[in-house]
Structure 1
Amino acid sequence: MIQGEFDEIGQLFFEIDLIAANGENFPTIALLDTGCTEWLAINNQDLQGLGWRRIETRDVQTAMGETTLDTYLGKVVLDGEEFTIEVVAGAAFRETLIGAPWLRQRRLVAHFSAGLLTLE
């Protein structure tokens, strides 16, 4: 189980680890975006130091419409478990986003009044 936090407007944040190609671990705060259909979306600038391999360029539907993004094969650690996932990268991403596919594998518990946020 991974503990998360709410911000003042109710956004859901979790700490995850990004694993660089050289094995180095980079903890980061990621916003859970249930409207995001990707496992992980990251800003191009944040991606540079990870050394992940680009696998394709494809069209992706975003909140701002359809756009073409590069897709990488990346490694993340969530709740102590390492995953190899597809990651989209673009200049428009202000936050690192974890998307709805995680909710197919994990249960989200968000109890705002109790201040409880977990991804199990």
Structure 2
Amino acid sequence: MIEGKFGDDEELFFEIELIAADGLELPVDAMLDTGFSDWLAIDKQDLEGLDWPYVGERNMRIAKGEANFDIYVGKVRIDGEEFDIPVHVGDGVPEILIGRQWLKSRRLVVDMQSNVLTLGGS
């Protein structure tokens, strides 16, 4: 189980690690976006240096309308486990985002009154 933190506007942040193709591990704060139905989304500039393999593109509906994303296979570590997942890469993604797919195998606990935010095993 990993403990998260609340952002200034009550966003839900969790520390994850992006793992580059050469094995370099980059800890980052990722925001949980329950409106994002996939695994991970990052801005194109955040992709530099990771050297993840490109696999195609996908058009998706987002809050601002339609957007085209390049899809890469990325490696991340969450709660000590490594995963190879599809990563949506686009222009203007304001935060590194983790989406609802993580909630299929992890339990989210949010208790703002007690300042408790966790993401972990069921």
Report the counterpart of residue 69 of structure 2 in structure 1.
69
**Shift >3 Å, 4+ stretches:** none
* 1:46 aligned counterpart, secondary structure: helix
Query: Is 1:18 the equivalent of 2:39?
Result: no
Paired residue for 2:112?
Answer: 112
What is the aligned partner in structure 2 of residue 42 from structure 1?
A: 42
SS across alignment from 2:46: helix
Q: TM-score, normalised to structure 1's length?
A: 0.97
Aligned-residue identity in percent: 50
Is 1:100 paired with 2:100?
yes
Which structure features the higher share of helix residues? 1
Could you list the runs of 5+ residues in structure 2 that have no partner in the other structure?
none
For 1:77-117, what per-residue CA distance to the aligned partner results, in whole angstroms no more than 9, with x for missing partners? Answer: 00000000000001120100000110011000001000000
Q: Specify the code of the residue in structure 2 equivalent to 1:88.
A: H
Query: Residue deviations 1:8-40, cap 9 Å, x none?
Result: 321100000000011110000000000001200
TM superposition score normalised by structure 2: 0.96
String of CA shifts for 1:53-96, please: whole Å, max 9, x gaps: 11001111211111111000000000000000000001120100
Paired residue total: 120
State the superposition RMSD in angstroms. Answer: 0.7
Give distance in 2, aligned partners of 1:80 and 1:57.
Answer: 29
Aligned residue number for residue 29 of structure 1: 29
Matched, 1:78 2:78: yes
User: Which residues of structure 1 form unaligned runs of 5+?
Assistant: none
Q: How does 1:43-58 map to 2 (within 5 A)?
A: 43-58=43-58
